[in-house]
Amino acid sequence: MEQLKTIGRELAMGSQGGGWTGQSKEFLDLVKSIGEARSKAEEDRIILREIESLRRRIAEPDVPRRRMKEYIIRLVYAEMLGHDASFGYIHAVKMTHDDSLSLKRTGYLAVTLFLSDDHDLIILIVNTIQKDLRSDNYLIVCAALTAACKLINEETIPAVLPQVVDLLAHPKEAVRKKAVMALHRFYQRSPASVSHLISNFRKRLCDNDPGVMGATLCPLFDLITADVNSYKDLVISFVSILKQVAERRLPKAYDYHQMAAPFIQIKLLKILALLGSGDKQASGHIYNVLGDIFRKCESSSNIGNAVLYECICCVSSIYPNAKLLDAAAESTSKFLKSESHNLKYLGIDALGRLIKINPDVAEEHQLAVIDCLEDPDDTLKRKTFELLYKMTKSTNVEVIVDRMIDYMISINDNHYKTEIASRCVELAEQFAPSNQWFIQFSVSNNFTFQTMNKVFEHAGDLVNVRVAHNLMRLIAEGFGEDDEGADSQLRSSAFNIELLFLHSELEFIYGNSTHIAAKILNNILCNKFLKMVLIFYSCMCLFS
């Protein structure tokens, strides 16, 4: 077995097309020993020893540059495994000043991995980036732009902004593409400093190179999200680009698994969904191309389904069109009926979007939805609960809330427990068929929440408090019922419930010892007057 392992390793190492370009034996030994370490503690020991030795060596004067490059790579490795190598940061910064592309690139890589944009050493790098952005070698410019995307923050944007804007017109498309992404990043960091340059994004949309055009869709998406109306004039351009892409007019290099530029198609669909939302005229332009894509999509590959799903999202956000909604419903059916869990997941999500427009769509898929609810896959279950949350009405609120509570008791994730608990309460408040039911629900589930208190106090407390608050409010304000008899009956049942509530509070405060006593008291007293005396007395005890 061991022999096979070593043979495997030799074979695998021999197959590397990338080559070794100058890794020393020491580095290989280091990586191998980490790989063979039996425990995290052993791995930590090896790395810490390595860091100590590097700390000594890196501080020596006159370290040859290529040796320094390797030390920096080893430090990147150490940091990746979770250890601190901050003594090496300054050396990485110095390496970015180097003239040779190989060393400069390593320096930039190390610096982008080590530092965040608010680190003190950034000041030393900004000058280098500025110089490199003006370099004749386009590869150096690319490296500088990649670093700028990570390291330039609000304060340093003005230092590099003019060059980046100039680079938008660079002859090399790789540079233009990265300049667009860098400008986008600057916009995200500080919209005010880039707002006057937004017209550049519109220009780059018409770039000859599809890669640059595709990259421009990212900033345009953010801009449109912020302010839809200024970009309505671009609807026609986007539709025509999408048409060209769908008709395979882009170079073959952008094909992926027999689909034409699917990632670009998805970005365009997201943008069109925003532009067409609530706007009949804009949506009118989009219907044709959307219909074409529905027809042409390959539903046999993952990426084809991803595009289909994005189409469904688009259809459900733009102005409704009957034919397209039918096509979307059909695709959703196919997703829900498929064997793959991923597609079922997308189907549930798509169904959630479609029922906002047409609530009846959910009826024919009830069985599929219930199957997903009972699936052992947690992710699918949670997604289905989100769907149920959207589907709740007065007629089905009890069933749905019961299911949600059952599920909540069974899971361990505290964060999610709180979420479900508050959702249950929201649904109960919003859709309760009657006040009686709501009180009954609150109290019976108060007990459920109480029993979980021992394992999980936080959510129990949060929900208890809300439920108690609402109960109080309801009882104080009365139910507004005209029928005196019904009103007094409700009040007496509320009385009973208050007593139970008090009992549960006592149990919580004093533990199990009061349980039996309170139960006996409760059973003995059917007399209203005695109950009042008891409550008054216990009240005095509690607050003394």
Partner 1 sequence: MVRLYPNRCQLVGSAFISGFLISLVRSFIIDYYLFCSFQIHFVILISRQGKVRLTKWYSPYQQKERSTVIRELSGLILTRGPKLCNFVEWKGFKVVYRRHDSIILVILNLYASLYFCICIDPDDNELEILEIIHHFVEILDRYFGSVCELDLIFNFHKAYYILDEILIAGELQESSKKTVARLIAAQVNVTERCVSLAF
Residue in 195, 115, 192 with CA at minimum distance from that of residue 148:
115
Residue in 109, 121, 196 with CA at minimum distance from that of residue 149:
109
- Torsion 421-423-426-431 (CA) sign: negative
* Selected binder of partner 1 within 268, 350, 355, 494 (CB under 8 A): 494
What are the residue ranges of helices labelled H in 37-172?
40-58, 65-80, 89-96, 101-114, 122-133, 138-151, 157-167
What are the residue ranges of helices labelled H in 262-393?
262-276, 280-296, 302-317, 322-337, 341-357, 366-373, 378-391
Helix (H, G, I), strand (E, B), or coil: what is residue 432? Answer: coil
Interacting stretch for partner 1, rule CB under 8 A, among 127-135, 284-292, 443-451, 535-543? 535-543
Q: Which is nearer to partner 1, 48 or 236 (CB)?
A: 48
* Selected binder of partner 1 within 36, 48, 52, 81 (CB under 8 A): 81
* Selected binder of partner 1 within 42, 57, 100, 481 (CB under 8 A): 100
Q: How many CB atoms lie within 10 A of CB 198?
A: 17
- Identify residue 495 by its one-letter amino acid code: F
Interacting stretch for partner 1, rule CB under 8 A, among 236-244, 375-383, 397-405, 511-519? 375-383
Q: Which parts of 420-459 interact with partner 1 (CB under 8 A)?
A: none
CA dihedral 241, 242, 245, 249 (to 10 degrees): -40
State the minimum distance, in angstroms, from the CB of residue 90 to partner 1. 18
Interacting stretch for partner 1, rule CB under 8 A, among 20-28, 237-245, 279-287, 431-439? 20-28
Half-sphere exposure at residue 318, Cβ-oriented, CA atoms within 13 angstroms: 29
Q: Which parts of 303-342 interact with partner 1 (CB under 8 A)?
A: 303, 305-306, 309-310, 313, 341-342
State the minimum distance, in angstroms, from the CB of residue 15 to partner 1. 5
> How many residues would you count in the chain?
544
Are 269 and 310 in contact by the 8 Å Cβ rule? The answer is: yes
Q: Which is nearer to partner 1, 174 or 284 (CB)?
A: 174
Q: Does 415 bind partner 1 (CB under 8 A)?
A: yes
Half-sphere exposure at residue 526, Cβ-oriented, CA atoms within 13 angstroms: 1
* Selected binder of partner 1 within 2, 3, 11, 523 (CB under 8 A): 11
Q: Which is nearer to partner 1, 313 or 318 (CB)?
A: 313
Distance CA 107, CA 24 (A): 18
State the minimum distance, in angstroms, from the CB of residue 158 to partner 1. 19
Are 324 and 315 in contact by the 8 Å Cβ rule? The answer is: yes
Q: Enumerate helices (H) and strands (E) in the chain, giving the number of each.
A: 28, 2
Distance CA 135, CA 130 (A): 9
* Selected binder of partner 1 within 88, 262, 276, 460 (CB under 8 A): 262
* Selected binder of partner 1 within 222, 247, 457, 481 (CB under 8 A): 222
State the minimum distance, in angstroms, from the CB of residue 294 to partner 1. 16
Q: Which is nearer to partner 1, 100 or 394 (CB)?
A: 100
Task: Enumerate residues 6+ apart whose C-beta is below 8 A from 498.
Answer: 475, 535
Q: Which is nearer to partner 1, 8 or 433 (CB)?
A: 8
Q: Does 500 bind partner 1 (CB under 8 A)?
A: no
Q: Does 414 bind partner 1 (CB under 8 A)?
A: no
Q: Does 134 bind partner 1 (CB under 8 A)?
A: no
Q: Does 479 bind partner 1 (CB under 8 A)?
A: no
Q: Which is nearer to partner 1, 49 or 458 (CB)?
A: 458
State the minimum distance, in angstroms, from the CB of residue 455 to partner 1. 19
Distance CA 262, CA 256 (A): 7
Are 86 and 76 in contact by the 8 Å Cβ rule? The answer is: no
Q: Which is nearer to partner 1, 284 or 453 (CB)?
A: 453
Q: Does 77 bind partner 1 (CB under 8 A)?
A: yes
Q: Does 258 bind partner 1 (CB under 8 A)?
A: no
Q: Does 7 bind partner 1 (CB under 8 A)?
A: yes
State the minimum distance, in angstroms, from the CB of residue 429 to partner 1. 14
Interacting stretch for partner 1, rule CB under 8 A, among 53-61, 175-183, 234-242, 433-441? 175-183
- Torsion 481-483-484-486 (CA) sign: negative
Q: Which is nearer to partner 1, 221 or 456 (CB)?
A: 221
Half-sphere exposure at residue 542, Cβ-oriented, CA atoms within 13 angstroms: 14
State the minimum distance, in angstroms, from the CB of residue 398 to partner 1. 25
Q: Which is nearer to partner 1, 333 or 398 (CB)?
A: 333
Helix (H, G, I), strand (E, B), or coil: what is residue 260? Answer: strand
Distance CA 533, CA 406 (A): 38
Q: Does 67 bind partner 1 (CB under 8 A)?
A: no
* Selected binder of partner 1 within 48, 49, 116, 533 (CB under 8 A): 116
Q: Does 154 bind partner 1 (CB under 8 A)?
A: no
- Say how many residues touch partner 1, by CB under 8 A: 101
State the minimum distance, in angstroms, from the CB of residue 190 to partner 1. 12
Are 75 and 47 in contact by the 8 Å Cβ rule? The answer is: no
Helix (H, G, I), strand (E, B), or coil: what is residue 256? Answer: strand
State the minimum distance, in angstroms, from the CB of residue 394 to partner 1. 26
Interacting stretch for partner 1, rule CB under 8 A, among 208-216, 227-235, 322-330, 404-412? 208-216
State the minimum distance, in angstroms, from the CB of residue 4 to partner 1. 6
Distance CA 220, CA 271 (A): 8
Q: Which is nearer to partner 1, 72 or 432 (CB)?
A: 72
Q: Which is nearer to partner 1, 398 or 525 (CB)?
A: 525
The single-letter DSSP state of residue 508 is H
